[in-house]
């Protein structure tokens, strides 16, 4: 999607057929008024996820809420984390919070936001607040069950849980907060009718797309699509950034003196990196790339075992509700995708760096957060491919799949990419069968790993700005040489007792991204350190990875004691596999959009077909960049030109739509049997 829609020449005239009219015609049809990003979403996908969630949720009358520090809203940075289990009907609140060193006690509050003009997701005048009770802190931990007055919970809908110091109250800044997901809130209103739920979710998806693309929340002019544009695979990179005018909201820090330190302008333009105060606005921010937001429904569930250092409740380590951002902790409060938008507004949208809610930006409402969450869950694919069932036409790609799926070197006699261990079926989740065999119980979810990418010797010198701290990923403690080894000089995590690795190691843990969309979304890693897909695969042969905590883990699990070792041709084979997987996803998406266009009004069809052309262009590019499957590239370019022609058509030409579908099918047949 990085190449603009152009090259629609007079040759298209012979393609369109009778009744067509190009965009320059006097009566060319208008679009449907929907945001461009809506074309990438399917409400059916999020509805299926919601129904699955309902089936698991039905047996429980309680709501579990994760509690975390929230930059911009908490009193001060804290390592405290925890969770509460709320049973509104019974009036009970089970609390477990760790990391409260220095706090003698905490008070837990429940919030029911009352719908009103200008109401926010936090505490506003007129909202219902219930004091669940006070818990004393012992050895940094507050645990116990609180009982509320049942009369206070009549018709009470839980929207937030807030933890404050005694006497501070829940208004203004608190220590910790969190809230239930959009699905929890939807379930309260769900009549049980399938059609009712489908309509409600479809409306939320459209509303979320409008907010994502158009809402500035009273800030500096940025929207979510400033960094996640539909025209560039929901991310930004140096080439795309160079195409933007200087007046684009992305560059507001260059124009507005009050926001001069909102970004690092040089590294934003040169490397596509944005400033993130992941450890609080009181601490210096790190520079990170912008992850795309495709397939979030497959990536946000964290691991269900004490696999990484964000999940070990017995040791007082509580995970975020969901995995968002490069640290897997990119959202305030609960850490959920729903609260990610709240963090984005606070971090990226303010009028000044004072970041005063109500003055520098408007805090989103609960309904807006619901819509944004549901919309993002509807983006892209809803499941990972099944690599075992794909019969690749190219022997090199088939070899890449073999290496991708092989997880042991057989005593050092075979090459093994082991990619599937962290990227099951090319996604972002642990390989459940492998880790169940190792650990002896079921394993699932998206984990964090210490990959050592910060140690890559070929990192661009631009990344070593003395004013930018070392990025420790999921940061918990300073790497000061006394709490963990080796002293890395950053802010990261420490391997705890009872985990999968020896305790006391310094870790810089980053969240596992999906690989299916990788070829479309360079550069790679949390710091955009590597520009090409082949170099990104090759990194896992590097000393930096194999000497990292993650590399040592793989070596410990290998019969030959080897982390990852691939020769140059094998690196190429794995990279070509990823290019084909990306092209297959482009084809799936383009085919789906073409079929939707066939059943849509002309204005909606035009919007969808613009995206079809982008998808076909993307697939052609990721293949053609390395000379892969020339016949498929030719078919994709044909589909692109056909779709572009229909974008300007006055009437839908179903014969041409069939030709688009046929060209996409031919391209797919060139890739897999």
Q: The CATH number of the domain where 596 resides is what?
A: 1.20.120
DSSP string, 349-399: S-SSTT--BTTTBPPPPHHHHHHHHHHHHTBS-SS---GGG--BSSHHHHH
Residue 666 belongs to a domain: yes
> What is the pLDDT, as a whole number, of residue 23?
34
**Residue 61 pLDDT exceeds 70:** yes
Residue 51 belongs to a domain: no
pLDDT band at 150 (very low <50, low <70, confident <90, very high): confident
- Clarify whether residues 216 and 165 are in a common domain: no
> What is the pLDDT, as a whole number, of residue 193?
58
Quote the CA–CA distance of 490 and 475 in Å, as a whole number: 9
pLDDT over 70 percentage in the chain: 89
In the beta sheet, which residues pair with residue 105?
A: 136
Mean pLDDT value across residues 611-633: 98
> What is the pLDDT, as a whole number, of residue 76?
74
DSSP 98: E
Residue 112 belongs to a domain: yes
Residue 88 belongs to a domain: yes
> What is the pLDDT, as a whole number, of residue 18?
31
**Residue 28 pLDDT exceeds 60:** no
> What is the pLDDT, as a whole number, of residue 454?
86
Q: Number of folded domains in the chain?
A: 4
> What is the pLDDT, as a whole number, of residue 7?
37
**Residue 591 pLDDT exceeds 90:** yes
Residue ending a domain, choose from 511, 536, 566: 566
* Residue 331: closest CA among 377, 300, 308: 300
pLDDT tens for 549-561 read: 889 889 999 999 9
Residue that wins the pLDDT comparison between 126 and 309: 126
Quote the CA–CA distance of 328 and 306 in Å, as a whole number: 15
**Residue 497 pLDDT exceeds 80:** no
**Cα separation values, 289 from 238, 362, 458, 469, 525, Å:** 11, 25, 17, 15, 8
**Residue 584 pLDDT exceeds 80:** yes
**Residue 115 pLDDT exceeds 90:** no
**Residue 45 pLDDT exceeds 50:** yes
* Residue 309: closest CA among 327, 324, 297: 327
**Residue 463 pLDDT exceeds 90:** no
CATH number, position 93: 2.60.40
The mean of the pLDDT values for the chain is: 88
Q: How many CA atoms lie within 13 A of 469 on its CB side?
A: 20
- Clarify whether residues 305 and 362 are in a common domain: yes
* Residue 158: closest CA among 89, 97, 95: 89
- Clarify whether residues 235 and 164 are in a common domain: no
Are the CB atoms for 414 and 406 separated by under 8 Å?
yes
pLDDT tens for 379-402 read: 999 999 999 999 999 999 999 999
Q: How many CA atoms lie within 13 A of 129 on its CB side?
A: 17
Mean pLDDT value across residues 70-76: 81
Rounded to 5 degrees, φ, ψ at 15 are: -90, -35
Residue 264: domain span: 188-377
Mean pLDDT value across residues 201-211: 95
pLDDT band at 20 (very low <50, low <70, confident <90, very high): very low
Are the CB atoms for 387 and 426 separated by under 8 Å?
yes
> What is the pLDDT, as a whole number, of residue 398?
98
> What is the pLDDT, as a whole number, of residue 649?
76
Are the CB atoms for 335 and 66 separated by under 8 Å?
yes
Residue 582 belongs to a domain: yes
Mean pLDDT value across residues 528-534: 93
DSSP string, 413-443: TS----HHHHSGGGSSS--HHHHHHHHSS--
Distance, CA of 302 to chain centre? 12
- Clarify whether residues 551 and 580 are in a common domain: no
pLDDT band at 405 (very low <50, low <70, confident <90, very high): very high
> What is the pLDDT, as a whole number, of residue 462?
61
Residue 5 belongs to a domain: no
pLDDT band at 16 (very low <50, low <70, confident <90, very high): very low
* Residue 513: closest CA among 317, 330, 275: 330
> What is the pLDDT, as a whole number, of residue 1?
41
- Clarify whether residues 422 and 560 are in a common domain: yes
Residue that wins the pLDDT comparison between 143 and 27: 143
Mean pLDDT value across residues 482-487: 68
Quote the CA–CA distance of 193 and 187 in Å, as a whole number: 12
**Cα separation values, 127 from 37, 66, 156, 183, 189, Å:** 34, 21, 11, 21, 19
- Clarify whether residues 600 and 622 are in a common domain: yes
Beta-strand runs (E) in 481-533: 491-494, 506-507, 509-511
DSSP string, 196-227: HHHHHHHHHHHHHHHHHHH--TTSSS--GGGT
User: Which range scores top for mean pLDDT: 282-291, 297-306, 409-418, 539-548?
Assistant: 409-418
Mean pLDDT value across residues 538-559: 92
Residue ending a domain, choose from 377, 409, 441: 377
Distance, CA of 74 to chain centre? 23
Mean pLDDT value across residues 64-79: 84
* Residue 664: closest CA among 627, 638, 628, 629: 638
pLDDT tens for 472-483 read: 888 766 666 666
Mean pLDDT value across residues 256-282: 92
- Clarify whether residues 176 and 212 are in a common domain: no
- pTM given for the model: 0.92
> What is the pLDDT, as a whole number, of residue 480?
62
Residue 45 belongs to a domain: no
Largest CA distance in the chain: 79
**Residue 534 pLDDT exceeds 90:** yes
Q: How many CA atoms lie within 13 A of 177 on its CB side?
A: 30
pLDDT band at 19 (very low <50, low <70, confident <90, very high): very low
- Clarify whether residues 206 and 146 are in a common domain: no
- Clarify whether residues 560 and 596 are in a common domain: no
- Clarify whether residues 290 and 215 are in a common domain: yes
Quote the CA–CA distance of 36 and 209 in Å, as a whole number: 8
Q: Which residue has the tokens 């060139």?
A: 670
Residue 4 belongs to a domain: no
Residue ending a domain, choose from 357, 377, 397: 377
**Residue 254 pLDDT exceeds 50:** yes
- Clarify whether residues 595 and 652 are in a common domain: yes
**Residue 541 pLDDT exceeds 50:** yes
- Clarify whether residues 515 and 394 are in a common domain: yes
């Amino acid at each position: 999607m990085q190449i603009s829609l152009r090259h629609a020449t007079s040759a298209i005239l012979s393609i369109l057929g009778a009744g067509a009219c190009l965009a320059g015609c006097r009566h060319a049809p208008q679009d449907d008024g929907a945001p461009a990003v809506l074309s990438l979403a399917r409400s059916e996908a999020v509805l299926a996820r919601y129904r699955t969630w309902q089936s698991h949720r039905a047996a429980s009358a309680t709501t579990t809420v994760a509690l975390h520090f929230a930059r911009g809203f908490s009193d001060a940075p804290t390592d405290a984390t925890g969770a509460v289990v709320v049973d509104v009907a019974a009036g009970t609140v089970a609390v477990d919070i760790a990391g409260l060193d220095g706090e003698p006690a905490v008070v837990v509050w429940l919030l029911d936001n009352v719908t009103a003009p200008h109401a926010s997701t936090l505490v506003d005048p007129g909202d219902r607040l219930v004091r669940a009770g006070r818990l004393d802190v012992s050895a940094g931990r507050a645990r116990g069950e609180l009982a509320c007055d049942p009369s206070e919970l009549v018709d009470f809908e839980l929207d937030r849980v807030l933890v404050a110091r005694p006497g501070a109250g829940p208004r203004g800044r608190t220590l910790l907060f969190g809230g239930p997901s959009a699905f929890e809130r939807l379930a309260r209103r769900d009549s049980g009718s399938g059609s009712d739920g489908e309509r409600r979710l479809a409306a939320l998806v459209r509303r979320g797309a409008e907010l994502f693309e158009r809402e500035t929340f009273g800030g500096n002019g940025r929207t979510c699509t400033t960094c996640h544009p539909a025209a560039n695979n929901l991310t930004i990179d140096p080439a795309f950034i160079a195409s933007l005018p200087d007046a684009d909201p992305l560059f507001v820090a260059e124009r507005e003196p009050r926001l001069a330190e909102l970004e690092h302008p040089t590294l934003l333009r040169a490397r596509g990196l944005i400033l993130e105060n992941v450890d609080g606005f009181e601490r210096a921010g790190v520079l990170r790339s912008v992850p795309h937001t495709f397939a979030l429904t497959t990536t946000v569930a964290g691991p269900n075992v004490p696999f990484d250092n964000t999940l070990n409740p017995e040791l007082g380590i509580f995970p975020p509700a969901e995995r968002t951002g490069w640290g897997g902790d990119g959202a305030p409060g609960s850490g959920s995708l729903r609260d990610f938008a709240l963090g984005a507004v606070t971090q990226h949208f303010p009028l000044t760096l004072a970041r005063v809610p109500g003055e520098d930006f408007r805090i989103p409402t609960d309904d807006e957060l619901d819509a944004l969450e549901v919309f993002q869950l509807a983006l892209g694919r809803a499941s990972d491919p099944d690599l075992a069932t794909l019969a690749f036409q190219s022997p090199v790609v088939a070899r890449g799949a073999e290496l991708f799926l092989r997880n042991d070197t057989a005593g050092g006699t075979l090459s093994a990419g082991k990619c599937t261990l962290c990227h099951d079926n090319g996604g972002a989740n642990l390989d459940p069968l492998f880790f169940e065999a190792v650990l002896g119980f079921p394993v699932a979810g998206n984990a964090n790993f210490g990959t050592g990418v910060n140690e890559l010797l070929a990192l661009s010198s631009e990344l070593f700005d003395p004013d930018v701290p070392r990025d420790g990923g999921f940061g918990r403690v300073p790497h000061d040489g006394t709490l963990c080894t080796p002293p890395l000089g950053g802010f990261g995590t420490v391997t705890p007792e009872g985990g999968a690795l020896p305790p006391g190691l310094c870790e810089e843990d980053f969240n596992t991204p999906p690989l299916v969309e990788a070829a479309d979304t360079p550069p790679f890693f949390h710091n955009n350190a590597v520009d090409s897909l082949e170099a990104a695969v090759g990194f896992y042969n590097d000393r930096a990875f194999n000497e990292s905590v993650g590399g040592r883990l793989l070596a410990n699990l290998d019969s030959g004691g080897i982390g990852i070792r691939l020769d140059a041709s094998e690196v190429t084979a794995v990279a070509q596999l990823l290019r084909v997987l990306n092209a297959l996803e482009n084809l799936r998406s383009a085919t789906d959009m073409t079929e939707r266009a066939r059943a849509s009004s002309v204005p909606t069809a035009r919007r969808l077909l613009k995206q079809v052309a982008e998808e076909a262009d993307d697939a052609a590019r990721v293949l053609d960049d390395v000379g892969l499957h020339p016949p498929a590239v030719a078919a994709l370019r044909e589909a692109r030109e056909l779709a572009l022609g229909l974008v300007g058509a006055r009437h839908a030409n179903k014969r041409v739509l069939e030709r688009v579908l046929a060209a996409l099918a031919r391209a797919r047949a060139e890739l897999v049997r």
